[in-house]
Structure 1
């Protein structure tokens, strides 16, 4: 696959206390002041690129000139683990928020629709933690996979007509294909070879999926109304296991988080607004889904990890090396409509819920107080990557 360019747009801003240039921005400035852009030895450039830890900084490094781009080839192909970003469904441009930089990027490398298909500007984007987004046109249900960090696009067959009857959508991507649902029953579209249409999964015909997560060769289909998790082999689509609900009062509001062999279940009273500013999970559970007869066990903490949850997915990130991520914490995003505005605008905020203190706080960041035009989708977490596989 041909290599594509990723250039993060620069933005002038006033200098302010606490807002410092990143190490790579400083290195670039020093190098440009001391020599020409392409006069530095290739070995030195490669060493510098190998020490870059931020995906945005790798992109900036690669955008200087062709020799710098070549030197950063390995860094782009295998960057260090990245903290999640937020895909914000603002209009007319999607916005991507990098919490670590406290910076908002418009559109990134999202392909622009052709003039003849201008209605596709209204397509909805649903992020996966694995770097891809599912793009769906609500007018004709045309679907595709779009990689916002590289600009790559992979066409998918149109979704069935009944997907237009609801705003609910659950999905995730694997190297073997895409699984999707708009409630009852699940569909699969194989990737190799590409399928001509979506096919139902008979074993899950009665499954009322609220979320789908993929990890390590398996899909995890969660039914919130009964707190049941079904593990599905991503290749054969056979049911590999079913984990029934823990001892909680049903119906409950819940989210499933996938972290390798371990699953987390976050549950709260149905009377409490899910993931709002006053987040208060009543219980948290974990289970090793590969154990014999897996059963949920209540837990008090998750150690040096952070959980990221939204209406589509839940996943875990080690906090080591990420100075602005708090361990034993659940990060979520909420939205609030701004009243008396036309067109409708919305304000997004990020909340951190400590499993130790069982308290929530709203993070101080550039999102707070910023109003955005509202779209049909919900905000979702995505792990930035320059790798499409």
Structure 2
């Protein structure tokens, strides 16, 4: 059917302004639920809820799941703040506006994001929570023992599934050298440490892909996590490090892992010059070929993303969405946040890379100039609004 808003516009009336002239509450509940299942944007979701009480009761996650998928939802950019401040500024890509939200749950805590949820890490009492900034839902996670993982060393957080939709979700925390995993009911509700036997690797990104967790090292080597035995959880190499000859004299930043529109696992690297190490000069995308010996050949490089848009972040899960016709997101582009920490000097590395011509747009960097006051700043985050 398409979106509710566009559907109504074709018939030259608006479901909200005409609510007084039509008793929409008398529609059969099955029909209302059927309409809810066609919602494909957060804008339509809030408009749908505003019609009347019966429509609002139908606009719940179980009914909206079918259409309102994360692959269609344009993320918001969470801007840096002083870590002790409860107010967070969210920049809407779709509206081009900044919104201020009071999120006391994030005050004094490190924050990471995945599937619309945040991981909050308290440095005061070492408590970990999953937090949904849309509805303020809060899930307490088991504490980590100091020898398992130092909280300040957490660099990424990845969910296997949305906790709003299922209780069978997994949480993976990434540090520089190893991972820790938690799933309710798994390993006696304890965190499981996953190691790389006989080797030391600096990990830069983690993804949940087709039922398994994958992690990439700083040089581009890709590993899969084997967690069948909690007492012997480990990683296995499936793709070697990137050969330097692919880049010549160009250096590349920490690689990312993203799933493509066709279901392939992509490795994305952002390049920089030796004298300009803080700024990204370009991006290259490769398809991970699982163990066939040709993982990083010229044939594995992806030159066009089609109608897909990639979102990369040093502190958030990387992901892709489908750029719909009415979406503000640019197709065949890569939105990147390549700094783990912001600086009071304002030298950040944020931009949009155009795959077609290699140009980089840096307008997003201007959003945060007023934020850089004082120390102990949080980082930028991509968050996909989710129930």
Which residue among 326, 330, 337 is the counterpart of 1:326? 330
Q: 1:158 to 1:364 in 2, by over 3 A?
A: closer
Where does structure 2 lack aligned partners over 5 or more consecutive residues? Answer: 162-168
Counterpart in the other structure of 1:308: 311
Which one is further off, 329-338 or 66-75? 329-338
Shift of 1:150: 3.4
Shift of 1:147: 2.2
Counterpart in the other structure of 1:31: 18
Q: Is the 8 A contact 2:206 2:257 kept in 1?
A: no
Q: 1:216 to 1:59 in 2, by over 3 A?
A: farther
Q: Is the 8 A contact 1:304 1:328 kept in 2?
A: yes
Q: Determine helix, strand or coil for the equivalent of 2:57.
A: helix
Cα displacement string for residues 171-205 of structure 1 (whole angstroms, at most 9, x for unaligned residues): 31224522223322222223234854323224468
- Could you tell me the TM-score, scaled by structure 2's length? 0.73
Q: Is the 8 A contact 2:19 2:51 kept in 1?
A: no
Q: 1:161 to 1:239 in 2, by over 3 A?
A: closer
Where does structure 1 lack aligned partners over 5 or more consecutive residues? Answer: 1-21, 114-119, 340-345
Q: Is the 8 A contact 1:174 1:234 kept in 2?
A: no
Q: 1:297 to 1:95 in 2, by over 3 A?
A: farther
Counterpart in the other structure of 2:166: none
Q: 1:61 to 1:234 in 2, by over 3 A?
A: farther
Counterpart in the other structure of 2:171: 178
Distance in 1, Cα, partners of 2:297 & 2:220: 14
Distance in 2, Cα, partners of 1:314 & 1:76: 24
Q: Determine helix, strand or coil for the equivalent of 1:296.
A: coil
Q: Is the 8 A contact 2:158 2:172 kept in 1?
A: yes
Which residue among 205, 211, 218 is the counterpart of 1:217? 211
Q: Determine helix, strand or coil for the equivalent of 2:14.
A: helix
Q: Is the 8 A contact 2:278 2:349 kept in 1?
A: no
Distance in 2, Cα, partners of 1:150 & 1:49: 19
Q: Is the 8 A contact 2:351 2:364 kept in 1?
A: no
Aligned residues: CA RMSD: 3.8
Q: 1:103 to 1:160 in 2, by over 3 A?
A: farther
Q: 1:273 to 1:243 in 2, by over 3 A?
A: farther
Q: 1:158 to 1:377 in 2, by over 3 A?
A: farther
Q: 1:166 to 1:239 in 2, by over 3 A?
A: closer
Q: Is the 8 A contact 2:251 2:273 kept in 1?
A: yes
Shift of 1:337: 5.1
Distance in 1, Cα, partners of 2:357 & 2:227: 38
Counterpart in the other structure of 1:6: none
Q: Is the 8 A contact 2:337 2:351 kept in 1?
A: yes
- Could you tell me the TM-score, scaled by structure 1's length? 0.73
Shift of 1:126: 0.4
Q: 1:168 to 1:190 in 2, by over 3 A?
A: closer
Please state if 1:262 is matched with 2:250. no
Q: 1:165 to 1:291 in 2, by over 3 A?
A: closer
Q: 1:44 to 1:178 in 2, by over 3 A?
A: closer
Q: Determine helix, strand or coil for the equivalent of 2:139.
A: strand
Counterpart in the other structure of 2:122: 137
Shift of 1:331: 0.7
Q: 1:169 to 1:295 in 2, by over 3 A?
A: same
Which residue among 161, 183, 188 is the counterpart of 2:146? 161
Counterpart in the other structure of 1:247: 243
- May I ask how many residue pairs the two structures share in their alignment? 346
Q: 1:187 to 1:365 in 2, by over 3 A?
A: closer
